[in-house]
């Protein structure tokens, strides 16, 4: 297949490029490097079946040749206001990627009669009143709060994708991605795993915001990529949650990382810096993924962190 991947230089996009190339597909990667990094694709330079186009998906997209599938993964994703690459500091770009970018990529898929996969997010559930979150849950989202530039952009993107499916008969799919970690995360991403790993590797106390009682469910990137590809080659059109249902508090995550890295500096509690209402709990119900695409994560949190640490050590100059 000839596959267009937007956000190809990002954390997830670059892993998708690698996996699909290894399976014999031809990949056209697209990115404008606002949050993606050229380093994530450097190893693909000169690869026969890989082409890169530097382009902003908010603008009209033209891709020559036949396209069999479009995966729209372009968007800032970090909610951390301390990160220059988080959506609080890129609000307009985030909404454009979700709205105009989705419209433009759907246009490409329609022109080529392609399979289309939208990268959505667990953030569409907002601060959930249902736990764990099923795809049938409509969410609890503040439409004008500081987090809304990401949450509402993704909710609009899902609605537009379903409109193209229903009105134009386009073969679409939607993946709702829960917290994912692994190699190629930005060190300055501002989220818990990269923050904690950097601090632990420098033998510093891990900074936990608030009391650390808020929970997340962390999925190792290879597991997530396998699920996305299974969804790509399925006939499913309704949203599918992908994530690891193992729930852990942020405080216990910090303690686990300290244990794995043998960091004896402990934790330091700071005032909560989150924007808007930081979701108290986040855990996917993955029964649909298990039934429809026979998917469930295989990597434990301990195993995934051990696979991630060497990347951070290299980037930080320790290896």
Separation of alpha carbons 160 and 95, rounded Å: 14
Separation of alpha carbons 82 and 66, rounded Å: 42
Separation of alpha carbons 281 and 200, rounded Å: 24
Q: What pLDDT score was predicted for residue 274?
A: 57
pTM greater than the 0.85 cutoff? yes
Domain boundary assignment for the chain: 2-184+218-246+281-298
Question: How many other C-beta atoms lie within 10 A of the C-beta of residue 16?
Answer: 26
Structure tokens at 84: 């220059």
E runs forming strands in 202-298? 206-209, 215-217, 219-220, 240-242, 247-249, 267-270
Strands 215-217 and 247-249: antiparallel
Question: Whose CA is closest to 71, among 32, 42, 105?
Answer: 105
pLDDT per residue as tens, the chain (319 positions) = 999 999 999 999 999 999 999 999 999 999 999 999 999 999 999 999 999 999 999 999 999 899 999 999 999 998 888 788 889 899 999 999 999 999 999 999 999 999 999 999 999 999 999 999 999 999 999 999 999 999 999 999 999 999 999 999 999 999 999 999 999 999 988 899 999 999 999 999 999 988 999 999 999 999 999 999 999 999 999 999 999 999 999 999 999 999 999 999 999 998 876 555 678 889 999 999 999 999 999 999 999 999 999 999 999 999 8
Q: Based on the number of CB atoms within 10 Å of its own CB, is 237 exposed (0-12), middle (13-18) or buried (19 or more)?
A: middle
Give the DSSP H/E element, type plus range, for residue 54.
strand 50-54
Structure tokens at 92: 């307009």
Of the residues 116, 125, 150, 181, only one is catalytic, namely 150
Q: What pLDDT score was predicted for residue 190?
A: 85
Q: What pLDDT score was predicted for residue 84?
A: 83
Strand order in the sheet with 240-242: 50-54, 26-31, 2-6, 69-72, 115-121, 171-177, 240-242
Separation of alpha carbons 61 and 6, rounded Å: 11
As assigned by CATH, the class of the 2-184+218-246+281-298 domain is alpha beta
List of residues 6+ apart from 241 with CB closer than 8 A: 122, 133, 134, 135, 176, 178, 284, 285, 286, 288, 289
- Give me the numbers of helices (H) and strands (E) for the chain, helices first please: 9, 13
Catalytic residue flag (residue 150):
yes
Any idea of the CA torsion for 131, 87, 302, 183, to the nearest 10 degrees? 140
List of residues 6+ apart from 246 with CB closer than 8 A: 217, 218, 300, 301
């Amino acid at each position: 297949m000839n596959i267009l991947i937007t956000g190809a230089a990002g954390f997830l996009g670059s892993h998708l490029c690698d996996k699909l190339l290894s399976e014999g597909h031809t990949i056209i990667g697209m990115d404008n490097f606002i949050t993606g990094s050229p380093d994530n694709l450097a190893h693909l330079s000169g690869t026969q079946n890989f082409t890169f186009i530097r382009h902003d998906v908010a603008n009209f997209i033209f891709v020559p040749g036949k396209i069999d599938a479009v995966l729209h993964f372009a968007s800032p994703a970090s909610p951390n206001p301390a990160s220059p690459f988080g959506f609080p500091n890129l609000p307009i770009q985030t909404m454009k990627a979700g709205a105009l970018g989705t419209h433009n990529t759907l246009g490409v898929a329609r022109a080529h009669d392609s399979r289309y996969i939208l990268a959505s997010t667990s953030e569409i559930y907002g601060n959930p009143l249902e736990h764990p979150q099923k795809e049938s849950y409509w969410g609890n989202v503040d439409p004008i709060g500081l987090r809304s530039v990401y949450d509402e952009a993704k909710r609009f993107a899902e609605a537009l994708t379903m409109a193209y499916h229903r009105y134009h008969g386009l073969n679409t799919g939607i993946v709702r991605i829960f917290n994912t970690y692994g190699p190629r995360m930005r060190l300055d991403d501002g989220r818990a795993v990269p923050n904690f790993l950097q601090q632990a590797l420098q033998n510093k106390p891990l900074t936990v915001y608030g009391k650390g009682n808020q929970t997340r469910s962390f999925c190792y990137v290879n597991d997530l990529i396998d699920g996305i590809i299974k969804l790509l080659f399925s006939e499913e059109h309704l949203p599918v949650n992908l994530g690891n249902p193992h729930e852990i508090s942020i405080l216990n995550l910090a303690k686990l990382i300290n244990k794995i890295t043998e960091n004896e500096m402990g934790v330091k509690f700071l005032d909560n810096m989150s924007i808007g209402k930081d979701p108290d709990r986040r855990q996917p119900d993955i029964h649909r993924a298990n039934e429809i695409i026979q998917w469930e994560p295989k990597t434990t949190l301990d195993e995934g962190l051990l696979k991630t640490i060497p990347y951070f050590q290299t980037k930080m100059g320790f290896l």
